[in-house]
Structure 1
Amino acid sequence: MPRIARYSRSRRDPVLSAGDTPPQSAESVTDKAHATSSEAADAPAPAAGRVPRHIWPLLIFVLALNAGVLGYWGHEQKNRAPQQLTQKDIDAAVLHTLATQTLPSPTARAAAKIAPSVVHVVGYTRTKRGTEVERGEGTGVVVIDTGIILTNLHVVNGSRRIEVQFADGSTSNAVVVNVQVENDLAVLKASEPPDDLQAAAMRSTEGLNAGDQVVAVGFPFGIGPSVSAGVISGFKREFQSPEGKQVLRNLIQFDAPANPGNSGGPLVTMDGEVIGIVTAILNPTASRTSLGIGFAVPIENAAKAIGSPPF
C-alpha cells in the first residue's frame, strides 16, 4: 500500500537567484541594532563650548564692526567742539547760585574791605600820684601803611601817652605829628606798626548824593570794631560842640548809628572807600548817644592834614 509522504515543519531556505540578498532572521537584525547603538555610544562627543568652525568668520566680522564703531565714537568725542554757552545758560547758573548760596550783603563787603585799616585809639594821662589812667578812647584809620593814622583831636588831646591797637591785635605807642584844629583832626604816627599794615582807600565826596548808602566802623564805648549802616543825609552841615567852644563847618551828615568811641573812625562808601572821618553826633539830651544824626569831616579836608594833595 502506498505511503503518504511526510513533510518537516522546518522551513527550507529559498533558493536565491543571482543578485538576490539572503533574508535575515529577527535575531540577526536585533544583533545588528545593538551593535549600531554600541558604536554610536562609543563615538566621541563634540567638546563642550567649542565654536563650530563655520561660526568663526561671522564672529570675527561682528568684533571688527564693534571695534570700528567704538573707534569712530571716540574720535568724535575727542574732536567735538565745546558747547557754546548761551545767555540763557548763564542766567540759569546765576539764578541757581542766588537760590542756593547766601551772598554777603553790601554792608558786609564794605566793612570787610575797611576792617584791616581800622584801629582802636586810647589816650592815657597821669594822676597827681603818678598813676596812669585812661583819659579817652576812640577810633582811627590807617591812611599810610608806614603807620600814619587819622583820628579826632578831641580823642587824644591832653594825653601823655597814646596807644593804638591794630586789626591783627598788635599794639603800639603813637605820637601826634600834626593837627588840624578847625576840623578837629589829629595825625598819629605809630612807633611799631605791623609789617603787613594796610592803608585805607580814600575817595572824593564829589559825585556823592544824599541818600547814598554809607557804613561807619569804630569802637563805640570801646566795643568793636563795630559796624553800622545808613545813608548820607546831606552835605555842608555845621555843628557846634555842646560846650560851645568850637563850630565845625562843611560836614557830611549821615544817619548810621554812631556813639562815643566812634569818633575818629572812617565813614565809607559801599565800596569800602573812606569819604569822611566821624567827628560828632547831635543829641540835645544828657545821654549824648546816637539819635540818627551824625557828622563827619570830608576826606578832602582830612587829606590836607596828612599833606596829601586834594582830590
Structure 2
Amino acid sequence: MGDQIMHKVVVITGASSGAGRATTFELAAHGAALVLASRNEAVLQELAAECREIGSEVLVVQTDVTDHSAMRRLAERAFEWKGRIDVWVNNAGVLAAGTFEEMPWEAHQKVINTNLLGYMSGAYAVLPYFKRQGAGTLINNISIGGYVAVPFGGAYTASKFALRGFFESLKGELTDWPDIHVVDLFPAFLDTPGIQHAGNYTGKVLKPSPPVYDPKIVAHSVRDAILRPASTRYPGGASLLFKIGHSLAPEWMTKITGLLMKGYFRIAGPAEKTDGNLFRSVDFSMSTNGNSRPRLTPHTKRILRIGLLTAGVVGLGIYLLSGRNARTSS
C-alpha cells in the first residue's frame, strides 16, 4: 500500500487542523510528497516539521481558499516543486450557526465563499495540470451535510448541497478522461476543532450531534481513494444510513433534525457570540481532534439503525400510500 502512495505529490487544503491534519499524518506515514495549505502558516510549519521527521517531503504554501489568485499560485508552486500534481484534496471549510436572518449577511457569504467557491477554485486551479498529465485524482471532503440539511446552518447546508451537484456535473464533463478521477467523501459528524472554530451566533455552546467519529476515518478514506478512486465514499457507517434515511423520508428527516436542534438549544449552556475563524485564522485548538463526546458506540449504532430504518419504513409507506391515492383519484 505504502509503495503506491510513496512520492505522490498531494496537495491538501485546510491542512492545519481536523480532518486535514489527520490526512496529512496518514499520507506522510506512507511517504507522500505533501503540499500543505491553510491560512495559518505558523501552524503549517510546525506540522511540516513533524511530517519531515516521519520521512515525508513537505512544501508549505500559505493559502486562503477564498482568494482565487492564491489558489492558482498554490497549484503553480506544487507543480513547480515536483513537476506534477498527483492528488488534490479539497478540505478547507468553515461553519456558521445561528438563526438565518439574525446572522450577519457577511457570515453567510464567507461560508459560501469558503466551502463552495473554495472547492470550485481548487478544481479550477488543478484540472489544467491533470489534463496536461492525462491523470490525477481530485478528492473532496464534502460531509453528509451534502444530503441532510443542518438547521441553523443554512449557508453551510447550501454550500454542501451545491458541492454535491457541482462535482456530479464535473464528473460528467470528465468522462473522456478515464484517468482523471473525482472522489466525493460524505463523512458523518467528526470530532474536530471545527465546532470550536465555528462562527457562533446562537448564544449557546455548540456541540456536534452524535454519532461523532474520529477524523482519522476521513484520512483513511483519502488514502483508500488514492489507491482505489471510487466516485463516492461514506466514511463511517452512519453517513450512508443518513443518506438512505433522507432518500426514503426527506420530510421526516428535516423535521427530526429541526426538533433535535431546537431541543438542544433549550438546554445548552450560554456562550458569547463570535465570528470564530470565518474572517481570519485562529491560534487555538489547532489539533486533529476536538475531544467531543459521545463517540459512536455499539449502543448508539443500534439506536441509529433502528431510527433510520423506522424513518425509512414510514417514508416508504407514505410514498406507496400517496401513489395509491393518486391512482384512485385519477
Structure 1 or 2: more strand by fraction: 1
TM-score of the superposed pair, with normalisation by structure 1: 0.23
- TM-score normalised by length of structure 2: 0.22
The higher-RCO structure (CA 8 Å, 6+ apart) is 2
